[in-house]
Amino acid sequence: MTTTQPRVISFSQRLSKWDVKFSPYLYISPFFILFAIVGVFPIVFTAVISFMDWDLVRGSGTFVGIDQYTWILQQPHFWTALRNTFSIFLLSTVPQLVLAIFIATMLDRNIRAKTFWRMSTLLPYVVAPVAVGLIFTVIFADKFGIVNTNLQAIGLDPIPWHSDPFWSHVAIATMVNYRWTGYNALILLAAMQAINRDYYEAATVDGAGAFRQFWSITLPSLRPTLIFVVITSTIGGLQIFDEPRVFDQFGRGGAGQQWLTISLYLYDIGWGQWNFGRAAAMAWILFLIIVAIGLINLLVTRTLLRTEGTRSPVEKSRRKRTQKAVAR
Amino acid sequence: MTVRTSRRTVAAAIAGAATIAIIATGCAPSGDSDAGGTTQLTLATFNDFGYTDELLAEFTEETGIEVIHNKAATSNDARANYFQKLGKSGLADVEAVEIDWFTEAMQYSDLLAPVPDDLKGRWLDWKEAAATDAAGNLIAYGTDIGPQGICFRSDLFAAAGLPSDREAVAELFPTWDAFFEVGAQYTQATGKPFIDSANSVLQGIVNQLEFAYEEPDGTIIATENPDIQDAYNTVVEKAIPISAFPAQWSEDWNASMANGEFAAMLCPGWMHGIISGNAPDITGWDIADAFPGGGGNWGGSYLTVPANGANVEAAQQLADWLTSPETQIKAFLNAGTFPSQPDAYTDEALTGYTNEYFNDAPTGEIGIDRAEAVTVSTFKGPKYFQFHDALQNAVTRVFDGLETPEQSWDTWVTEVSAF
């Protein structure tokens, strides 16, 4: 014969309950408010503008649907820019990773003045991209550049750095490699140092040479880090802007769009032609391209990680060895 | 316990809000306030207008108005800033605009305070005409201009069997045809290019046309304009074979001023400093009082007063003072910015001005002659820069051998059809 009565709680109890419930959200809210203002809002606003013919000065526009998107996809410049971006990306990422692994392996050895060598590899990364551009403009100038004057001095033909698309990509990729190789080398070095030294000792006992050890122990263990490095380089590579922009005096990718990249084209549409509707559409297209490449990366990553998760070659060979030892 | 926590919560919330508020207001301009009873004005320029602190102090002395001078590094920085803030807020009370992007600003002439009627006639006709909008309002105060002469290497001219003193050289270039003829002679005699770049010739020819790519009513005539087609053909056929570079301002171009890669340049007043800076040890440079096919102007700037500024009237006073013939002469002596006010052309400081580097050439006199030889003010619509840039690219493609002249013209036509 009891009636359930609502439990009476004091105000202070209720306050403390709210405190537990809501305070954490309040504490983390500054970041999210800031993120909403400087992160989400611009992205959404860009999407809105991409469907409009936008006048920046008067801050108004008219709705034009997907016209801006179709306009961009019909531009020959867009496709040239896409080709250039991927070409520069490949020319920079592949040699850069090979070189970074090599440098990291060297630094991983027991050498004198370790910190000095490690800091030296990171030095180019500290130099601002624009400064790198200025230095390399002098190196890659067509007539009086350092490379071409040396080539001519030994009787070879000068390289047309600024008129041939391929050579312009090589020059720009060189700037990228100069800046990022050391950075990637240090990340890979950190991963190398985390590899259990027992593996190497065992391998040495087994009579494996340095090259064999590198191929069978170091590389497989680096796989997750390599994947990380590849993904970050991909994103950076697809957004490449500074280096091609400072490659000549105009910064618009060359008279025949030899080294126009997607970001450069996007910038020119926005700030050169003041067409922010088209620039916004372009930004979204670039975003979608990066998402697509990111998904491909993810798929590749998954397959690679799965093979590593079950049996890494190192573990397999070790187990075989133990089995053999036991059998003996 | 509870009370303490919640007080902390409030404090955290306030701190968070304050952070955001600081960030949000961090980039707001802080000028425009009346400090100590004097009005403050902001003035924004780029590169070097010759407006030194001493010069601006003279204005403060006369009027009691203090001037804060902000300089952007390049005209491009100033352009981006200008259009981001025009019509909103944050522009300086007086803003400098370069002629290259002035046509873009003309589209928004309603957002600028017009120049008072009593100042009309202060500037050269074509300088004023270019700043007058469709409604007949003069919307900007002319500062400097770039009257072009011909800079040449007298030593290289002499070596090639051409006349080398400046009066005789000036006789060589009455028309573009004569100019190309001399160029061909020089190239044949020496095996070296005659002029620095093909695109500066294009610039020179296009700046003598009445209409370039657009008509005042907005009709786009770029690809149909026979004058433009002629200009392109002339440059491709006659200028490219005698040019050292496709365009200016590259690393090679800068270096080549000293090592005799070419013998002549189209030379606005502001180019003098660039040549003497790039080739300090060369003694052969000189200037001829001539320009093929009449006068030619290249470059120059204006001052504008955004209509929504806090002190429009005082700002107009400052712009008026800065562009008066007397002040403009001082700016010229400070930074070589050639005056656009005819009244300044009788000033002895200008008429007697000589340039030691260029073999003591009377650059003041030459500039005046060249400025007065300009008769045409090319109509440049809002998209002038885009059209012209694309045409320059077309010339560069031919120069680099990427495309034939016909292909490159067709590429240009396709390109500009998308603008």
Indicate whether B17 pLDDT > 80: no
Decide if A255 and B6 are in contact by the 8 Å CB cutoff.
no
State the residue for tokens 């490699």. Answer: A177
Q: Are strands B264-268 and B338-339 parallel, antiparallel or unpaired?
A: unpaired
State the sign of the Cα–Cα–Cα–Cα dihedral A22, A26, A27, A28: positive
- Quick check: B24 pLDDT over 50? no
Percentage of chain A lying above the pLDDT 70 cut? 90
- pLDDT average, residue stretch A143-151: 92
A43 Cβ under 8 Å from any chain B Cβ: no
Contact assignment for A19 to B6 by CB distance below 8 Å: yes
pTM assigned to the model = 0.81
Tokens of A61: 């526009």
Using the beta-carbon criterion (under 8 Å), do A249 and B247 form an inter-chain contact? yes
Of A76, A255, A271, the CB nearest to B400: A255
**Chain A CA closest to residue B417:** A75
Chain B residue at shortest CA distance from A58: B87
Nearest Cβ partner for A249 among B9, B80, B250: B250
Element (H or E) spanning A63, and its range?
strand A60-63
| Cα distance between residue A31 and residue A40, in whole Å | 12
Q: What is the per-residue pLDDT for B70? A: 93
Task: Tell me the pLDDT band of A307, cut-offs 50, 70 and 90.
Answer: low
Alpha-carbon torsion, ordered A289, A295, A298, A302, to 10 deg: -150
- pLDDT tens-place string over residues A34-92: 999 999 999 999 999 999 998 888 888 889 989 999 999 999 999 999 999 999 999 99
Q: Which helix or strand (DSSP H or E) is residue B45 part of?
A: strand B40-46
DSSP structure string for A13-56? HHHHHHHHHHHHHHHHHHHHHHHIIIIIHHHHHHHHHTTEEEET
Sign of CA dihedral B370, B373, B377, B378: negative
With an 8 Å Cβ cutoff, are A56 and B83 in contact?
A: yes
User: How far, in Å, CA of B349 to CA of B346, rounded?
Assistant: 9
More confident site: A56 or B210: B210
User: What does the pLDDT read at residue B18?
Assistant: 42
Q: How far apart are CA B108 and CA B110, in angstroms?
A: 5
CA distance to partner chain A, nearest, from residue B37 (Å): 34
Q: Which of B82, B89, B400 to mutate to test the interface with A (most CBs of A within 10 A)?
A: B400
Structure confidence by residue, pLDDT tens digits, B322-369: 999 999 999 999 988 999 999 999 999 999 999 999 999 999 999 999
- Does the distance separating the beta carbons of B83 and A57 come in below 8 Å? yes
Instruction: List chain B residues with CB under 8 Å of A271.
Output: 80
Cβ separation A141–B251 shorter than 8 A: yes
Nearest to B393 by CA among B374, B415, B375: B415
**Testing the interface with A: which of B79, B250, B391, B417 to mutate, by most A Cβ within 10 A?**
B250
Q: Kindly report the nearest CA distance between residue B288 and chain A, in angstroms.
A: 28
B260: Cβ contacts below 8 Å, ≥ 6 apart: B153, B156, B192
Label residue B136 left, alpha or beta by phi (over 0 means left) and psi (-120 to 50 means alpha). Answer: left
Alpha carbon of A79: minimum distance to chain B alpha carbons (Å): 14
Residue A151 Cα distances to A155, A159, A170, A173, angstroms: 6, 8, 16, 20
Cβ of B247 and A138 within 8 Å?
A: no
Residues A255, B250: C-beta atoms closer than 8 Å: no
Categorize the per-residue pLDDT at B294 as very low, low, confident or very high, splitting at 50, 70 and 90. Answer: confident
User: Phi first, then psi: what are they for A95, rounded to 5°?
Assistant: -60, -35
Q: Which helix (H) or strand (E) holds B408?
A: helix B405-417
Grade residue B74 by pLDDT with cuts at 50, 70 and 90. Answer: confident
**Core vs surface per residue B10-29: b (16+ CB within 10 A) or e:** eeeeeebeeeeeeeeeeeee
Q: Hey, how many other C-beta atoms are within 10 angstroms of the C-beta on A198? A: 9
Q: Which chain B residues are within 8 Å of A12, Cβ to Cβ?
A: 2-3
3-state secondary structure (DSSP) of residue B43: strand
Number of neighbours of residue B282 by Cβ within 10 angstroms = 16
When pLDDT is cut at 50, 70 and 90, the band that residue B9 belongs to is very low
A134 lies within 8 A of chain B by CB:
no
Average pLDDT, chain B: 88
CB contact under 8 A, A16 and B2: yes
Q: Is the confidence at residue B1, as pLDDT, over 50? A: no
ipTM: 0.77
Indicate yes or no: CB of B16 within 8 angstroms of CB of A144: no
B contacts of A144 (beta carbons < 8 Å): 251-252, 255-256, 259
Chain B, nearest residue to A275 by Cα: B419
Whether residue A141 and residue B247 make contact (CB cut-off 8 A), yes or no, is: no
In chain A, what residues touch B80 (CB-CB under 8 Å)?
271
* CB-based contact B149:B167 (threshold 8 Å): no
Taking an 8 Å cut-off on Cβ atoms, the answer to whether A273 and B252 are in contact is no
pLDDT tier at B32, thresholds 50, 70, 90: very low
Q: Please tell me which residue, A274 or B178, carries the higher pLDDT value.
A: B178
**Cβ-defined contact of A255 to B88 (cutoff 8 Å):** no
Angle at alpha carbon of residue A43, lines to A40 and A47, rounded to 5°: 135
Q: Considering CB atoms only, which of A59, A142, A163 is closest to B88?
A: A59
- Give residue-wise pLDDT tens across range B349-359: 999 999 999 99
Nearest to B124 by CA among B381, B371, B298: B371
Looking at residue B88, its pLDDT comes to 86
Cβ pair A271:B80 closer than 8 A: yes
Q: Which residues of chain B make contact with A16, given a CB cutoff of 8 A? A: 1-2, 5
* Residue B21, pLDDT score: 42
Measured between CB atoms, which of B249, B251, B393 is closest to A255?
B393
Residue B265 has pLDDT above 90, yes or no: yes
Size of interface A-B (CB pairs under 8 A): 104
**Strand ranges inside B64-177, DSSP E:** 66-72, 94-98, 141-153
Mutate to test the interface with A, among B251, B388, B389 (most CBs of A within 10 A): B251
**Residue of B402, B414, B416, B417 to mutate, testing the A interface (most A Cβ within 10 Å of its Cβ):** B402
Instruction: Give the residue among B325, B304, B198, B320 at the shortest CA–CA distance from B250.
Output: B198
The answer to whether the CB atoms of A59 and B16 lie below 8 A apart is no
Mutate to test the interface with B, among A26, A55, A67, A144 (most CBs of B within 10 A): A144
pLDDT band at A260 (very low <50, low <70, confident <90, very high): very high
Cβ contacts of A77 on chain B, cutoff 8 Å: 415
Query: Does residue A200 carry a pLDDT above 60?
Result: yes
Residue B377 token pair: 């003010």
Q: How far is B26 from chain A (nearest CA, A)?
A: 14
Average pLDDT, chain A: 87
